[in-house]
Amino acid sequence: MRRVETAHVAVATVAALVALLAGCGDGRSADRAERPLLSVEQEIQIGRAAAPHLERLAGGRIENLAVEAYVRTIGERVARSTPRRELPYRFEVLDTADVRAFALPGGLVYLTRGLLASLKTEAQLAAALAHQLAHINARQVVRSLCGKCGKALLLDAVAAAQLTTAGRDARQRTETLARLAEAIHEHEYDADTEAAADRLGLDYLVAAGYNPSGMVAFLEVPARSAAPAVPAARTTDSGSRAGRIRRIAERKYRGCGGRVADEEYRGEVLDRLGGPVVPAR
Ligand SMILES: [Zn+2]
């Protein structure tokens, strides 16, 4: 625990230093002179270009149109309660037992089959999506990647996304975008960024008409998951994250009802994932 906390401090310090030296941009406040590293268009470009590489790294997309359609419907519902509605959001499901979720620059959100199988209600699914949408809306995706992987990789990816997919360009394009996808696959936010996304995600969840308890239950998932592919670091602090959000929800949204929808989730997702899932590739 102590080692992990020390690592968090070290990562936060290095991230702050790199941001200062490399001009990663803050993005937390629009009235600051400091501009974000990438334009919205550039975020969208590199996210879309890196997406196929990330999908290959994480088991490919599931071949279950009904589950995908349901996840997209809920994702779009939550996205309508976020401030950056102009982004072309896309919600996909990856065919892996890992219990994970990813947000790519520019509005792409991936949840894994393992995560879907660990959830019990539509409100918990909406919470998982709201948390990733919070990372995107608070511009944490590019800022955090920049702090941990460096500005050069992101700028290389912007250049690579412009290259053609034929000849010598194709190799350079593939190599750079594959490196970005790898960085996203390995990337973890620091504890403060996760806590901020939990709080913001809770607000989106409630604004979308869901019960706030969905966020608490979603945050309890990694801690009680038996999935062997979840590294210990990803379960760190999850118990206290759920506790913190429970206290915030009780204070801020006391008596607030909202949709839970456990039967719908069972029918739309759990029953459908119960059968053999055919890998996409
Ligand atoms: Zn997160």
Average pLDDT, the chain: 83
Ligand 1 centre to CA of 100 (Å) is: 10
Distance of CA 132 from the midpoint of ligand 1 (Å): 6
Distance (angstroms) between ligand 1 centre and the Cα of 63 equals 25
Give the per-residue pLDDT at 24: 66
Residue in the structure block whose two tokens are 């359609």: 69
How far, in Å, from the CA of 131 to the mean position of ligand 1? 6
pLDDT digits (tens, 9 = 90+) for 153-176: 999 999 999 888 878 888 889 999
62 Cα to the center of ligand 1, angstroms? 22
| Model confidence pLDDT, tens digit, residues 256-274 | 999 999 999 999 999 999 8
Domain coordinates of the chain in residue numbers? 2-26+33-273
121 φ, ψ (degrees, to nearest 5): -140, 160
Centre of ligand 1 from the C-alpha of residue 275, in Å: 29
Whole-model pTM: value is 0.82
Q: What separation in Å is there between the alpha carbon of 167 and the centre of ligand 1?
A: 38
